[in-house]
Every structure is written in structure tokens, then in C-alpha cells.
Amino acid sequence: MSGRMPKGAPQSLEIRLIGEPEVIVEGRARALPASKKTRALLGYLVRTGRPQRRERLCELLWDGPDDPRAGLRWSLAKLRPLTDADGAVRLVADRERVAFDAQAADIDVVAVGQLHAAGVEAVSDELLLQGLAHFRGPFLEGLELSSCPAFHAWCVAEREAQR
């Protein structure tokens, strides 16, 4: 699984997961799909930062009588125009796995994690203020999926880690 970049400079992509999820391309917020499961899928793939088995994603978000694989395919189709908007293939999928390739993307939880890892003493006041600006609410605010207990548990753990 590998993403490919077209020739030319890619547009900027920001993904905000702290607070309500947002995707921003070239400084403009893009409308996210109305489906909470689709937004949750984006958050999960971006935050985990590694390929996920399709079965795992189906169990995580589509535990019900409907066709989970069809739900996953539908969600990926809705997310691709947002994440791949600049021509870079960031949602990478094959028959077994799905991943988000963060190439040239600015992701708030990653930026905050890097500041935390560097240590408060080693970071300039300016960078600390930039990091503080990322905190707009709880992680994946508004994505309480009570019908998806495994996702809910993961999301709660991520929120606790953000404290």
C-alpha cells in the first residue's frame, strides 16, 4: 500500500481532530459527510496512523444487520474527495487494509503530540501558544457512537490522553 503524489506542489491539508472534526484544504473548511460513522472512520484512520484491516474497521463501526463492508466502501467514497482533494492519494486501500497516508498533512493531534514529546521546557512560547490553539474541545467532539462500544472505548481513551 503506497500513496502517490502527482507532479506539482500539493495544496495544504489540515485535519483537526481535537474538537469537532474538520478538514481544511488551502485554508477553506470542507463540508464533512453527515454520517457520524464516516467522520469517526476518518478520525480513527488519521489518529492511528497505520493500516487497519477492513474486518477490524467493520467491527469497530458497523456492528449491525446491514452489510458492514458496503458501509465501509460508502464511507471511503465520501472521504476520498476531502482527503485526496489536492491530487495526493491519502486514503489508501486494498482488498485487506485501509490506511491514511499523512503525507504533507498538518494534523492537530500529531502537532500536539510532538510538542508534548519535546517537553514544555524545550519549546518556545510561540510554539506553545500555537499548540494551545489546537484545543477547541474534546477529541472527536460530537462523535459519541453508543452503538459502537469498541469505537467509543477507543475514543474515550484518546480523550483521556489529551487531558
pLDDT reading at 113 higher than 90: no
- Say if 116 falls within a structural domain: no
pLDDT reading at 24 higher than 50: yes
- Whether 42 contacts 114, CB under 8 Å: no
Domain residue limits at 27: 13-107+136-162
Q: What is the DSSP string of 61-109?
A: H--SSS-HHHHHHHHHHHHHHHHTTTS---EEE-SSEEEE--TTEEEHH
Quick one: average pLDDT of 106-128?
73
Q: What are phi and psi of 23, to 5 degrees?
A: -120, 125
| Confidence category of residue 123, pLDDT binned at 50, 70, 90 | low
Closest CA to 52 of 39, 41, 63, 62: 41
- Say if 113 falls within a structural domain: no
- Say if 59 falls within a structural domain: yes
Sheet arrangement for strand 97-100: 52-53, 97-100, 91-93
Q: Which residues share a beta bridge with 153?
A: none
- Say if 6 falls within a structural domain: no
pTM of the model: 0.84
Give the residue with greater pLDDT, 80 vs 87: 80
Quick one: average pLDDT of 17-24?
94
Amino acid 63: pLDDT:
72
- Whether 111 contacts 91, CB under 8 Å: no
Amino acid 122: pLDDT:
72
Whichever domain contains 48, its CATH number is 1.10.10.10
Amino acid 128: pLDDT:
61
pLDDT reading at 6 higher than 50: no
- Say if 126 falls within a structural domain: no
The 10s digit of each residue's pLDDT in 49-69 is 999 999 999 999 997 767 899
| Confidence category of residue 116, pLDDT binned at 50, 70, 90 | low
Query: Which residues lie closer than 8 Å to 94 by C-beta, 6 or more apart?
Result: 1
Amino acid 22: pLDDT:
95
How many whole angstroms from its chain centre is CA 40? 8
> Of 41-45, 74-78, 114-118, which gets the smallest average pLDDT?
114-118
Centre a 10 Å sphere on the Cβ of residue 43 and count the other Cβ atoms it contains: 23
Amino acid 125: pLDDT:
67
What is the number of structural domains in the chain?
A: 1
Q: In percent, how much of the chain has pLDDT > 90?
A: 55
